[in-house]
Structure 1
Amino acid sequence: MLARLQQFITLGLLATAVAWALWCVQRGYTTWAWAGAALLVFGYAIFLAIELVLVWFVHGNDPAPKASAAQLFKAWWAEVLAAPRVFCWQQPFRSRREPDHLPPSSGRRGVVLVHGFVCNRGFWNRWMPQLRVRGVPFIAVNLEPVFGTISDYVPIIEDAVKRLEHSTGQAPVLVGHSMGGLAIRAWYAASGAGRVHRVVTIGSPHRGTWLARFASTQNAREMALGTDWQRALEALEPAQHFERFICFYSHCDNVVFPASTATLPGADNRHLVGMAHVHMVDHPLVLQAVLGTVVPE
């Protein structure tokens, strides 16, 4: 469903930009043709810039270091390049390019890859070939319904975990980006006790995000700061629950901020300097950490 929606949006924007440019050129408005087409195609960069300005203003007394203007600019530019690759190519047109990898008798621990809000399994297209070439079994899920409650994703993760347990005979590693980290926590609280080796979250709003105050869908509203859904989840999690977690977060995360909301008490919280929300998954230390968790003991 999400792939078709993003195909429609991507192709619709390109078609609108071309139509606008042709209409203006035919009437001799060359400058307006280029300006309008550029705004339609690259307007997202303006929204990314606004988000990062908000990151700077909202920081307050957050314990994470405050990003400098230079760090925010570099993070913005990296996100400008990463966002269209993910949202206009990998997810809408290449989400099925990399199939799940369940090799027989591999002897390796498996990985469940859980994407975030308005994403699908194509988000992990750069990771999956690297896991496959290293012989690491993996399953990348699609979280649906796209705009339902995060709690609805528990059975999807449970099915993936069961498949990896059956294939490998070992408790898997679960990796979640953004909302995916919350979905993993919901699964872990409901049925994951003793069935997970490690959990790695990347820019996950564990304690909500300031930006979600503008949300309109149910799952996005559940990611606002200090929601009832978060408190209900926390009530199911014992004090030592997060000892198996590695939480990556960044002071330049343009979606999850203030930055320390992506950390958990008792977890191995690791700060990534100058990384925006989507681009964070491309940091070599993140994949390196995941690969370190699947090394046979």
Structure 2
Amino acid sequence: MLAGLSPARRRLVVTVLALAVVAVLVTGAALLLGRPSGAAGREPVSQDAPGPVLLVPGYGGSTAALQPLADRLTAEGRDATVVDVPGAGTGDLGAAADALGEAADAALERTGAESVDVVGYSAGGVTARLWVADGGAAVARRIVTLGSPHHGTTLADLAGRVAPEECPEACRQLTTASPLLAGLNAGDETPEGPAWISIWTAQDETVTPPESARLEGALELPVQSVCPGARVGHGDLPRHPLVQAMVLEELGAAPPAALGPDDCARLGG
């Protein structure tokens, strides 16, 4: 068939056939790998088996603030570790995300589990999101954020204006116009991999406005939507029995589920 074509047409036909063969080979390889060509190919993290829990401190890096929640988790049979973040929790949140990654690797090796659950308190929730975006999604089963300024806090804005010398790197990263938060919130705020839950309080005096803790795509659980009369400030979140019960509920073996006033008494509110 090719013999009857001019040299220029023969070259064109041969080139087209070669490209078609390459396309077939690429498609076939993708099918053998169990995913279409160009897809990320990440398998969803199994939600069936709860693994170790890593608790990430907020601005200031106080591990003591999260110890009551870690103790409650331990008492309920969970393996719980409070992550020690560098720079006293006031440095680059990216470095804190690296520390979380190291803690996750250590927990998986120590326990033999295939995934971890993460509870990020305040800025620790932003740290958890940075870690997920940098590869943590492959081993993160569930991410619970507690009163996290996902869209910044005007308190950081004020500090940056009035006393910039008292607003170190993490403070600047938590302003409402922060490039770091703008990058995290561009597109999908809750990338695939883990299940996302945001627990926050309408009475937050540190994350202002409190609605900054909303995370698009997450299961939203304002404390007052469960127990309308609950008085819970920002600093109360890790130690309040109701909030602790909510965290335990969402980190259990059952799928994350919405909670409401009918659950208030059961959860100790």
Equivalent residue runs for 1:83-94 within 5 Å: none
* Cα distance in structure 2, aligned partners of 1:141 and 1:249: 21
* Cα distance in structure 2, aligned partners of 1:286 and 1:161: 24
Partner of 1:123: 65
Partner of 2:82: 140
Report SS of the residue matched to 2:87.
coil
* Cα distance in structure 2, aligned partners of 1:257 and 1:177: 15
Using the size of structure 2 for normalisation, the TM-score is 0.65
Structure 1 unaligned spans of 5+:
1-106
Structure 2 unaligned spans of 5+:
1-48, 161-166, 225-230, 255-269
Equivalent residue runs for 1:103-182 within 5 Å: 109-146=51-88, 147-166=90-109, 167-182=111-126
Q: Deviations over 1:35-75 (max 9, x none)?
A: xxxxxxxxxxxxxxxxxxxxxxxxxxxxxxxxxxxxxxxxx
Q: Which amino acid aligns with 2:102?
A: D
Partner of 2:154: 210
Q: Which amino acid aligns with 1:129?
A: D
Give the superposition deviation at 1:148: 1.5
Q: Which amino acid aligns with 1:111?
A: V
Q: Deviations over 1:222-249 (max 9, x none)?
A: 1011311111223485665497211112
* Cα distance in structure 1, aligned partners of 2:194 and 2:102: 24
Change (3 A) 1:257 1:183: same
* Cα distance in structure 2, aligned partners of 1:250 and 1:177: 12
Q: CA RMSD in A?
A: 2.2
Report SS of the residue matched to 1:175.
strand
Please point out which of 214, 220, 224 is paired with 1:263.
Answer: 214
Using the size of structure 1 for normalisation, the TM-score is 0.59
Partner of 1:275: 232
In 2, are the aligned partners of 1:148 and 1:218 still within 8 Å (CA)? yes
Q: Which amino acid aligns with 2:86?
A: E
What is the percent sequence identity of the aligned residues? Answer: 25
Q: Comparing 213-222 with 171-180, which one deviates more in the overlay?
A: 213-222
Please point out which of 181, 185, 188 is paired with 1:230.
Answer: 181
Change (3 A) 1:286 1:230: same
In 1, are the aligned partners of 2:189 and 2:216 still within 8 Å (CA)? no
Report SS of the residue matched to 1:278.
helix
Q: Which has the larger radius of gyration?
A: 2
2:172 is aligned with 1:221: yes
Q: Which amino acid aligns with 1:192?
A: G
In 1, are the aligned partners of 2:72 and 2:244 still within 8 Å (CA)? no
Report SS of the residue matched to 1:199.
strand
Q: Which amino acid aligns with 1:246?
A: I
Report SS of the residue matched to 2:199.
strand
Report SS of the residue matched to 1:186.
helix
